Amino acid sequence: MTKAIQKITLSPSRDIPFNKLVLSQSNVRRVKAGVSIEQLAESIAQRTLLQSLNVRAVVNAEGNETGMFEVPAGGRRYRALELLVKQKRMAKTQAVPCVVREGGIAEDDSLAENDERVGLHPLDQFRAFQTLSGAGMSEEDIAARHFVTPAVVKQRLRLAAVSPKLHDVYAEDGMTLEQVMAFSVTADQTRQEQVWENVSRSGYDEPYQIRRLLTENSVGASDRRVQYVGLDAYEHAGGGVLRDLFEHDDGGWLQDVVLLDRLVTEKLKVEAETIAAEGWKWISVAVDFPYGHTNGLRELDGKPADLTVDEQAAIDALNAEQAKLESEYQDTDELPDEVDQRFGEIEVALAAFEYRPETYDLAGIARAGVFVSIDSEGRLCVDRGYVRPEDDKAPAAALDVEPGGDSSPTEGQEAGASAPRTAISVAGATSEPEEDDEDPARPLPDRLIIELTAHRTLALRDALAENPAIAFQAVLHNFVLTAFYRFASSGSCLEIGLRTPTFPAQAPGLRESVSAKAVEARHEAWKARLPKCENDLWDALTALDGGAQASLFAHCASFAVNAVYEPANRYNQGRVSAHGVRMRLDQANVLARAAGLDMLQAGWRPTVDNYLGRVTKLRILEAVREAKGESSAQLIDHLKKADMAKEAERLLDGSSWLPEPLRLVDSSPSSVEPEGEAGPLPEFLADAEDPENGSDEHPQQLDAAE
């Protein structure tokens, strides 16, 4: 026989005057946590009591009710009501909704009420804040009513604006809160969904990877262009900025890169117009100039502008203050913050006087020009006083100036002067057309090989300059080739005569590379030691000891290094032969091995810009496979090329992998016979010379086409 289900009976509820309630010692909550009593009291004042108290009747020794009720569950609410009574915001006889319990254990009721309470899912809170905002409440009002800061409200509203599809994934524990925070960096829900589709399949779904993908087409506010123009100017011009409310973002990311570049160019042109008033023949404007842009130009000798009486007085005052501070704190282990800051301010002020503008001869100004750009910190960089070879040939009479006169760089031509207007040019960037990258047999692009070997040439110059003995031997080797082996000297990588070769293509990051900075620093150090007049050079070199002469010899010899791959074409076929390029690169390998060249130590790393974004997907996978193994290659083989290149850059970071044109060849170089041929070609050279590749660099094909 089926047993009847016993129906439950709920505890009755009644309104009890507050002064008839007392706290119970049966409440299990002992530790204060969560919302404070004061905040709860304010919430009750705003909304009244939203949850009844759980009470039991107080009985005397005989078991009779006394008319008082104790509160074993709801003690914090009782304390909040008590505070409102003390503040005279509520009458002590105010009726309080209560659930009256009988039977059972009071501590069990108190424990159950707290244990069975379930907090809101974060997503519910985000959406609730969004609903309140949609109802017309300001962020400040929401913050005040829910006892959080306006910044927290902004964060919650930003999270609520993430794609609903991603909200659903989060609600089902398919992603973490940190990942949702990362997606909130952009309001583009379509882009959010695209990125999630990619990262969820690839496994590269860390919050920092998500942020990187969402901001890949923007420019960080720390970029030197932004520092130069100013974020306020960019926003005033209508540019949008992505901000991350959950991570330090260095000012955010600028979305309109075209607008930013236009603002930079316009500001630089304004600066150039001001500088043009000084009378220069030409001014070249660019955000950045390529490495070696001043090669072949004669630099004018300028002299610092004379100090005014006020400037000299300011320098004396700064020096006196610095000396006084040094004397006062010479025995102090650690300087106070304000004193340390003042030392820094004094050094900056003195440096400004030291690097004051230079003055130049008027005749020199009429021949010379100026490079206007911005430095790595986003500051205006003005490099004055460079004369082009063709301007050096111009007769002095054609310049319409008095030779021998001096002019401050801020002084321009007088009104009515007939000097020609300064020619201002703005450098532009060129881009390569996209090519089909799915042909596995297609060789590395010529331009890429040129850029890679340009990096290697610069690094090899630096390595050679650091090895004087090898530099001497390299020159001797060149002389022997010239004397004993017919045509061999034309294939040497050391172009004796100190004709510094230029790079046909500027590789990304070449100017900022470790090698470039080392070569430039060494050159400037020697320039400071040598006499200005060339007639005094022989005596100055004689005064150097053997070690100094050897170091200077190595430095000068290093400028002749040319290890750049240069494909033969219709324009240079009389100067460049395939045989000569092969021999040049063979000799570069010999020199690199002897000098101990290591392109990793020279600072080269595979990136999207300098290699991975320039080659086929198969070559990207081959690079990852060689460096990290087949399992790593399989992680990215399904990605589109752009995403694959970015992930490959991350995987190859810290590895020792190098593309073939940058590797140190282990095999012996091609032996050079008096009338012989060079040995087998590296893969990238063999590809470039293979007629089956359909290269347009074969004179026969070009002639036929003509």
pLDDT tens track for 394-413? 665 555 544 444 444 444 44
496: confidence class by pLDDT, cuts 50, 70, 90: low
* Mean pLDDT value of segment 426-439: 50
Phi, psi at residue 373, to the nearest 5°? -150, -165
Q: Higher confidence at residue 418 or residue 367? A: 367
Cβ-Cβ contacts under 8 Å for 94 (sequence gap 6 or more)? 17, 18, 81, 85
Question: 173-182, 451-460, 490-499, 549-558 — which is least confidently predicted?
Answer: 490-499
CA–CA separation, 443 and 567 (whole Å)? 13
pLDDT band at residue 374, thresholds of 50, 70 and 90? very high
- Least Cα distance to 578 among 465, 699, 470, 406 occurs for 699
| Candidate ranges 85-89, 99-103, 147-151, 218-222; pick with highest mean pLDDT | 85-89
- Please state, for a pLDDT cut of 90, what percent of the chain lies above it: 19
pLDDT of residue 498: 56
Per-residue pLDDT at 477: 67
Cα–Cα dist 558/488, whole Å: 20
Structure tokens, 15: 């309104």
A 10 A CB-CB count for 235 gives 12
Lowest mean pLDDT among 74-78, 342-346, 647-651, 673-677: 673-677
Strand 219-220 versus strand 369-374 pairing type: unpaired
**pLDDT at residue 369 in the model:** 93
Q: Write down the pLDDT at residue 516.
A: 87
Q: What is the reported pLDDT for 419?
A: 54
Residue 497, pLDDT score:
54
Q: What is the rounded average pLDDT of the residues 556-585?
A: 71
Q: Report whether 167 contacts 258 (CB < 8 A).
A: no
Of residues 568 and 356, which shows the higher confidence score? Answer: 356
To the nearest whole percent, how much of the chain has pLDDT over 70? 80
Residue 463: both structure tokens together:
């390595």
Helix (H) or strand (E) holding 549: helix 546-558
Q: How confident is the model at residue 83 (pLDDT cuts 50, 70, 90)?
A: very high
Per-residue model confidence (pLDDT) at position 657? 92
Is the pLDDT reported for residue 666 higher than 80? Answer: no
What is the mean pLDDT of the segment spanning 12-16? 90
- Identify residue 443 by its one-letter amino acid code: P
Position 558 scores a pLDDT of: 80
Q: Quick one: residue 411, left, alpha or beta (phi over 0 = left, psi -120 to 50 = alpha)?
A: beta
Nearest to 685 by CA among 613, 614, 574, 579: 579
Question: How confident is the model over 178-234, as pLDDT tens digits?
Answer: 899 999 888 889 989 999 988 888 877 888 889 888 888 888 888 899 999 999 999
Task: Report the pLDDT value the prediction gives residue 90, as an integer from 0 to 100.
Answer: 93
Q: Which of 201, 244, 236 is nearest to 220 (CA)?
A: 244
Of 275-279, 642-646, 688-692, which gets the smallest average pLDDT?
688-692
Q: What is the pLDDT of residue 88?
A: 92
pLDDT at res. 538? 57
Residue 142, pLDDT > 60, answer: yes
Mean pLDDT of 26-40: 71
pLDDT surpassing 70 at residue 683? no
Confidence grade of residue 32 (pLDDT, cut at 50, 70, 90): low
pLDDT at residue number 359: 85
pLDDT (average), residues 377-385: 90
* 286 compared with 400, residue with greater pLDDT: 286
More confident residue, 659 or 511: 659
Name which residue leads in pLDDT, 405 or 283. 283
Most confident of 22-36, 175-189, 344-358: 175-189
Report yes or no: 387 and 368 within 8 Å, Cβ to Cβ: yes
Average pLDDT estimate for 378-401: 77
Instruction: Work out the mean pLDDT of the chain and round it to a whole number.
Output: 80
SS3 content of the chain, % helix, strand, coil (to 5): 50, 10, 40
> DSSP string spanning 188-230?
-HHHHHHHHHHHHHHS---HHHHHHHHTTTSEETTSHHHHHH-
Give the HSE-up count for residue 616: Cα atoms under 13 Å, Cβ half-sphere: 13
What count of other Cβ atoms lies within 10 Å of the Cβ of residue 535?
Answer: 7
Angle at 521 between CA 518 and CA 525, to 5 degrees: 140
pLDDT (0 to 100) of residue 407: 46
The model's confidence at residue 84, banded by pLDDT at 50, 70 and 90, is very high
